[in-house]
Amino acid sequence: MSITRIRVPCRFLTLGAHRENAIPAYNNAEFSLGLGPCGKTVEVLDVHFHAHGVEIVQVCTCTERKVFVYPWHTITGRVEVTHG
């Protein structure tokens, strides 16, 4: 059974013209198989939990591999991993 979707609720700073004007924002980072917002097709998803945080690995059909790291202090809720 492979991973079909990963959802990471997280907090990040939106930077304005000056760093001191940064505003905290809350959102869900969503990863799923199929056509992504970048126009590439994701064929493999993986998730790793480390001492420093959560690491999402995404592999596209063009063999491009991306790693997204979310430190623990930025995660605001449950990380959801869906298998299918």
pTM: 0.84
Predicted pLDDT of residue 51: 97
Split into its structural domains, the chain has a count of: 1
Structural domain harbouring 29: 3-83
Average pLDDT (60-70) is 96
Predicted pLDDT of residue 77: 95
Instruction: Summarize pLDDT for 1-29 with one digit per residue, the tens.
Output: 899 999 999 988 777 656 677 777 888 99
* Per-residue b or e along 29-54, where b marks 16 or more CB atoms closer than 10 Å to that residue's CB: bebebeeeeeeeebeebeeeeeeebb
Predicted pLDDT of residue 19: 66
